[in-house]
A and B are shown apart, each in its own frame.
Chain A
Amino acid sequence: MTDRVSFWERIGFRSVGGIAEAGWGRTLVVAVVSFIYFLPVLFIIFTAIKPQGLALSVPPTLSPTSFFGLIPDQFVFTPTLDNFASVFSRVMTAGGQPESTGFDRFFFNSIVIASASVLLALVIGTLAAYGFSRYPLKGNDTYLFIILTTRMLPAIVVIIPVILMFRAVGLSGSYLGIIMLYTAFNLAFTVWMMKSFFDELSTDVEDAARIDGSSEIKVFFKICLPQVIAGLAATFVFGLILTWNEFLFALLLTGPDTRTVPVAMNQAVSSGGRGTDWTLLAAIETLFLVPIFLATFFLQDHLLRGVTFGTVRK
């Protein structure tokens, strides 16, 4: 750590630790609030396991169980898993016309685009973060701040030129174009987050290795990288949260072959109107949520650091 006052300390961040304990009373209060907050998501999940015809019933069916008699019987339905099966077997209609591609294709696109761009950002961003952390350049803070501003820019400001640029070089509708764009958008977070992980490592071992004659490349791969594996994973998940559900750029820059799930979902709904298959959509959304939910759950503690750009150290 440098003892110079950083940009963040200058605008009022300090780093210290400590958290108080509370009992089951607090748990009860928070559980009620969290449950109410979670209700809309729960409704989507329950819709996904409803039988086909019940999505539009009046009075609405609410739950697969009566929750020990809390919910009157008229609101209870029998759960089914058919909707999940039909996500991959059925043909969706978009734009009013039957379309030959199903959601298996869109899921494939989403997975390829999100993981490729996040991995690319991780490789490039980790190198840069290591550079910023170990070989401070003249005007280091300025470079870091410039990188952060690319995240702060409202995306719409960049949309028009990016669309033009992609049209000019024939990248719109291709995997490469959208992957590169997402890579650029993930870079800011990656650099800031990975830098905070590298900054926390002690440099003693590295210096010892250097004295023993290890090359700079060997120091990076053999000593530094293994120590920040958890950080890499957290950064990966954080990028995934941002990219997995991105809609606006995907809407404008993907073609029929590279369409991602959010865009396809929007098209399926906006073309159908009342004819929208809600149970199927709910099943798609539930499937779409699962990986990101699990990843977030297991890396919660590290994620907190990503959101705050490592400004609060624990």
Chain B
Amino acid sequence: MQLMSTIQSAKTAPALLELSAGNWRLAVLVGLVVSALAVVALPASGSFWVVGAMSALVAAAFAVNAYRRRYYGGLLVAPAIAVLFVMNIFPLLWSLGLSFFAYQSNLQSIRFVGLNNYIKVLTDEVAAPANWNALINTAMFAVCTVSVQMIVGFLLAMLFAKQFPLRKYLLILVLTPMMLSVVASGVFFTYYYDPTFGILSYVINSLAGGQFIVMDSKAGAVAGIVFADAWMWSPFVMLLVLAGLVSVPRYLYEAAAIDRVSAWRRFWSITFPYIRGLLMLALLFRTIEAFKLADLVIVLTKGGNDTMTISYHLIRIANEQNKTSEGAAISYIILFIVIVLTNLYLYVANPKNREA
């Protein structure tokens, strides 16, 4: 019996591939419908296998079709798209599905609840305050650390914007913090901040005269985390801004020197237009990364002193408390915020919109 079905499936698979390669738009449609049915009707692990098989079939059909029609471009791109689909896009779709169900990863029951998860995480008397608090903390962290990074990164870039002796060697010194792992620097910042033997506390103590514990209050803890994060990632902003500064053609400055344009004016009308786009890109990346701020918090405060961020909160809810679908709902709310922010940035960065 087992043998028979194996033989049959070995025969039907190429035929199925043949059929779907010919009508691959139809194959995508069938794949989507079967996947949607599987997600609704089967428990999570079962639906994974069905959706996985469907997407593999559709990808194979696409590849066969592309090869026959000599779409080499499609063939070359297909593996990358397949990997991204399996590891990024499919998980995202799956969690979108899960956010409409009541599901806990430690229980097998699954039940459709529509938008209830979203309503619960935003308005529930028990669950919502912690979520809102984490979200507000994240926003605060994002504003503080991104603005510090932009300023420090910009100033560093101005320093490195000219060619001077030993430039290459000095640049690598500034780039090193970015290469340290968050854990490595985070762990050592706990060492610097330590009230008894920490170097930073030692300096503050000997200056102020009294005992000062950096991580003891919310303001101190926030400042400590922002300081460490900004120190690590300002070099990233610097690299982007530097790329812009280096690309400004010299003859513009020479012309400005002849016309005796003031330094301020020179910056606004020559330099700034060249780095505006890259500044926006830096701002965009750093803001998105700020939503990820969890590792430093885990290492430095473990969420103590009201420094819980949304990422860390989400990990706790989904991984430690097993409230999977609530976590999925929260992550989609974050995704929504990030998409809105991204589009806002792109809108502002677009010169056409700016001139209008």
Contacts and interface: CB of A to CB of B under 8 A. Distances in A.
A180 B162 contact: no
B292 to A, nearest CB: 5
Contacts of A41: 176-177, 180
Interface stretch (A88-96, A225-233, A240-248): A240-248
B231 to A, nearest CB: 7
Interface stretch (B15-23, B215-223, B241-249): B241-249
Interface stretch (A79-87, A99-107, A152-160, A199-207): A152-160
Given A29-B159, A30-B159, A241-B178, A156 B188 contact: no
- 4 smallest beta-carbon distances between A and B, as pairs: A135-B73, A131-B76, A245-B181, A184-B87
8 contacts: A38-B177, A41-B176, A161-B91, A251-B295, A266-B183, A266-B299, A285-B188, A289-B180
Contact of A160 (B83, B196, B328): B328
Interface string A232-271: 0000000001001111100110000000011101100110
A24 B164 contact: yes
Nearest to B105: A164
- By secondary structure, the B interface counts as helix
A296 B25 CA distance: 45
A26 interface: yes
Interface in B332-348: 332, 334-335, 338, 342, 346
Interface in A2-41: 8, 10-24, 26-27, 29-31, 33-35, 37-38, 40-41
B314 A265 contact: no
Given A184-B83, A307-B240, A131 B172 contact: no
Contacts of A281: 187
A124 B84 CA distance: 11
A247 B350 contact: no
Nearest to A120: B83
A76 interface: no
Q: Name which of A180, A216, A285 has the most chain B CB atoms within 10 A of its CB.
A: A285
A49 interface: no
B164 A265 contact: no
Interface string A153-191: 111111111111101110000000000110111011001
Contacts of A8: 277
B174 interface: yes
B226 interface: no
Contacts of B176: 38, 41, 289, 293
B250 A20 contact: yes
Q: Looking at A16, A38, A154, A311, which has the most chain B CB atoms within 10 Å of its CB? A: A154
Interface in A37-55: 37-38, 40-41, 43-44, 55
A251 B239 CA distance: 29
B35 interface: no
Contact of A161 (B98, B181, B182): B98
A158 B95 CA distance: 8
Interface of A: 8, 10-24, 26-27, 29-31, 33-35, 37-38, 40-41, 43-44, 55-60, 62, 124-125, 127-128, 130-132, 134-137, 143, 146-147, 150, 152-165, 167-169, 180-181, 183-185, 187-188, 191, 216, 241, 244-248, 251-252, 261-263, 265-266, 269-270, 278, 281-282, 285, 288-289, 292-293, 296-297, 300, 304, 307-308, 311-314
Secondary structure class of chain A's binding surface, majority of residues: helix
Contact of B83 (A34, A183, A245): A183
Contact of A154 (B73, B288, B319): B288
Counting chain A CB atoms within 10 Å of each CB, the highest count among B164, B172, B177, B311 belongs to: B164
Nearest to A169: B48
Contacts of B349: 11-12
A154 B156 CA distance: 27
Nearest to B335: A157
B165 interface: yes
Contacts of B248: 16, 18
A275 B352 CA distance: 59
Given A33-B156, A156-B294, 18 more contacts: A12-B277, A12-B280, A16-B247, A30-B170, A34-B171, A40-B185, A41-B177, A60-B202, A132-B77, A135-B73, A164-B324, A245-B183, A247-B183, A262-B182, A288-B181, A300-B171, A300-B172, A311-B281
Given A127-B79, A131-B77, A262-B184, A147 B84 contact: yes
Contacts of A248: 292, 294-295, 311, 315
B253 interface: yes
Given A184-B84, A247-B181, A293-B179, A20 B163 contact: yes
Given A160-B318, A293-B176, A18 B249 contact: yes
Contact of B187 (A31, A266, A292): A266
A113 B172 CA distance: 26
Contact of B184 (A38, A184, A265): A265
B81 A143 contact: yes
A250 to B, nearest CB: 10
B72 A135 contact: yes
A313 to B, nearest CB: 8
Contacts of A247: 181-183, 295
A153 to B, nearest CB: 7
Contacts of B141: none
A123 to B, nearest CB: 8
Contacts of A134: 73
Given A18-B248, A29-B159, A154-B292, A269 B187 contact: yes
B327 interface: yes
